[in-house]
Structure 1
Amino acid sequence: MIQISVIIPVYNEQDSIPELHHWICRVMKGHGYSYEIIFVNDGSNDGSWNEIQKLTDLNPNVKGVSFTRNYGKSAALDMGFSKARGEVVITMDADLQDSPDEIPGLYEMVMAEGFEVVSGWKKKRRDPITKTIPSRFFNGVTRVISGIKLHDFNCGLKAYKNKVVKNIHIYGEMHRYIPLIAKWNGFSNIGEKVVDHRPRKYGKTKFGIERFLNGFLDLISVSFVNRYKRRPMHFFGTLGTVSFLAGFFITSWLIFQKIYGLYQGRTVREITAQPLFFLALVALIVGVQLFLTGFLAEMMTSNNSRKADYNIDEELNLKN
């Protein structure tokens, strides 16, 4: 196994690719690392793939994968993770804002200090305020929900032990939450390193307000999936039980009031003439539906459970 795999998602970054490649190679050779560079072309419509092809001809350590269209950064990283052979896997953006000079420090934190995930922290950002303020708010919310004390979840410069990237799957915009996904898969030794953040040299940023909004939706999604994908009844069953019991007790109270009023000889409104009865009826129906949803989801989860759903750290003296 080689020492370092560098995974670089690429989307319309043809001008920066040769310079980034030269910089990474200089760092690797200077420290004597064995390495590979995996460029994942995410459906670029400029000359990015041509530049990658040139580099694969010049340098046998360069690998290239090209998508037929733009699938997003998470898909590109997931593909790179599946191809990586290094003991330490490092991800970085292709726009030259992440410095390859940080690679040795990240590598040492994983190999010498024992971290399973190390996330970069762009303490001094070279981005416009329209990008930095939403990012700070986003990071604050993610810290609260995840319980992981990182300053910059969205930093593209990260390092992982190989076993981490082989045991997680990301899609959508979930690349922002890899530390969270890693933690929920049993890799909780997560560290942080202040890294240099450089101004963009070529091209233009791919950041937009829609990515910010989608990021929060994906945070809700990844939180729900990782907590309840193997026990959906705990979520749907709990909500269903609460809703059903609320409807049951309200209905019981209305019936009791009706019977007690008749016993006292008072004129009492019909149960069906009270709006509260219909709210209780809705609560009963919703409760049953939620419980059945949880039951069906539990059956599907049970039928689809496989050994591959569980992460194995090590095996000893096992023979096929």
Structure 2
Amino acid sequence: MDLSIIIPLLNEEESLKELHDWIVKVMRSNGYVYEIIFIDDGSSDGSWNLIQQLTRENIHVKGVRFVKNFGKSQALHAGFKAAKGKVVITMDADLQDNPEEIPELYDLIKNEGYHLVSGWKKKRYDSLLSKNLPSKLFNWAARKTSGVQLNDFNCGLKAFDQKVIKNIEVSGEMHRYIPVLAKNAGYSHIGEKVVKHQARKYGKTKFGIERFINGFLDLLTIWFVSKFGRQPMHLFGALGVLMFIIGFGFALYLGVDKLFINTRGRLITDRPQFFIALTAMVMGTQLFLAGFLGEILIRSRKNEARYTVSEEINLTPAEKQYSS
């Protein structure tokens, strides 16, 4: 199969039919063998009913429905697991991503050898305060932290080589930083393409202040995981040893001072250096143990379900990897 198109959505009933028809038109004009996978992330409108209708009308359409809203990252994770195409395209369901961009994105992956190509909405039609400024801040911070030089990490329109999406774990709000996850997994041939951004035609944005806060927290998480996720002892162990050495140094100073210099002075427990030494050694021990426990958890952890699917349509038995 040439293409898998993954579309996570939440309450986008009005745009789904138009988006489907637009994608099908592009697929047919380019002769692609394709699949469209809609991931209904707990919609409360008629989105799932419309997806069911589309699966009856078009055998290339597949659907996955969550029992409640688990988030875009979890929706993408489910789509990645189900995708069979050699090239995988992700796009939003609100018609702000243009399906006409798909052929060029496909060519960059298939023929130019990119592992991942991210869209760049250079000219945006979003509100300046609600999306533009936060996006610029996110993108700047992500570039500085990750070393991945993209202008628009959060663009929903992206293209992937299949092996990339099968070897990364997307959770929390990490969908913003999929290029960073790909780089950390060893897929460094990452490109960017300017794409058309269209004003929202139906409904309203799902962006809220909590996403702004969560995005920064996830950026810190992904920085930590990329640096120390595989070997937490390198951070916690090093800090623990440093703190213990500082504490032991103060304790040694107090002992030498009491035994050989100030033999008739105050008791060691009456001196502030004693509490510094005690606190530093306790903290050092705790940090070292935290790193040790982290190493044990990494070696013993198992994959856990992060969402629950209630229905699936047109997926083969091999693709049904979820609990109903």
State if a TM-score over 0.5 links the two structures. Answer: yes
2:51 maps to what in 1?
A: 52
Provide, for residues 62-88 of structure 1, a one-character-per-residue CA deviation record: whole Å limited to 9, x for no partner. 000100000000000000000001110
Q: Does 1:205 align with 2:202?
A: no
Shift of 1:301: 3.0
Measure, in 2, the Cα distance between the counterparts of 1:275 and 1:262.
15
Measure, in 1, the Cα distance between the counterparts of 2:172 and 2:258.
54
1:150 maps to what in 2?
A: 150
Structure 2 SS opposite 1:120: strand
Q: CA RMSD in A?
A: 1.5
1:301 maps to what in 2?
A: 298
Measure, in 2, the Cα distance between the counterparts of 1:178 and 1:169.
9
Q: Equivalences for 1:1-320 in 2 at 5 Å? A: 2-130=1-129, 131-262=131-262, 268-304=265-301
Provide, for residues 164-211 of structure 1, a one-character-per-residue CA deviation record: whole Å limited to 9, x for no partner. 001111111000111101111111110000010000000000001100
Structure with the greater relative contact order (CA < 8 A, sep ≥ 6): 1 or 2?
Answer: 2
Paired amino acid for 1:37: I
Shift of 1:119: 0.5
- Alignment gaps of 5+ in structure 2: 304-324
Shift of 1:305: 8.7
Provide, for residues 255-282 of structure 1, a one-character-per-residue CA deviation record: whole Å limited to 9, x for no partner. 333334336xxx6333222223212211
Structure 2 SS opposite 1:132: helix
Structure 2 SS opposite 1:16: helix
Paired amino acid for 1:301: I
Shift of 1:229: 3.1
Shift of 1:294: 1.8
Measure, in 2, the Cα distance between the counterparts of 1:157 and 1:194.
10
Provide, for residues 214-249 of structure 1, a one-character-per-residue CA deviation record: whole Å limited to 9, x for no partner. 011112222223433332211211111111111111
CA contact (8 A) 1:14 1:46 kept: yes
Provide, for residues 80-128 of structure 1, a one-character-per-residue CA deviation record: whole Å limited to 9, x for no partner. 0000011100000000000001101110111111100000111001100
- Alignment gaps of 5+ in structure 1: 307-320
TM-score (norm 1): 0.91
- In structure 2, the CA distance between the partners of 1:107 and 1:9, relative to structure 1 (3 Å rule), is same
Paired amino acid for 2:284: G
Measure, in 1, the Cα distance between the counterparts of 2:57 and 2:302.
45
Paired amino acid for 1:59: N
CA contact (8 A) 1:261 1:268 kept: no
Measure, in 2, the Cα distance between the counterparts of 1:278 and 1:262.
19
Paired amino acid for 1:193: K
Measure, in 1, the Cα distance between the counterparts of 2:197 and 2:297.
46
Provide, for residues 15-64 of structure 1, a one-character-per-residue CA deviation record: whole Å limited to 9, x for no partner. 00000001101111111111110000000000111111111011111000
Shift of 1:304: 4.8
TM-score (norm 2): 0.90
Percent identity of equivalent pairs? 56
Measure, in 2, the Cα distance between the counterparts of 1:239 and 1:152.
35
Measure, in 1, the Cα distance between the counterparts of 2:301 and 2:209.
37
CA contact (8 A) 1:20 1:94 kept: yes
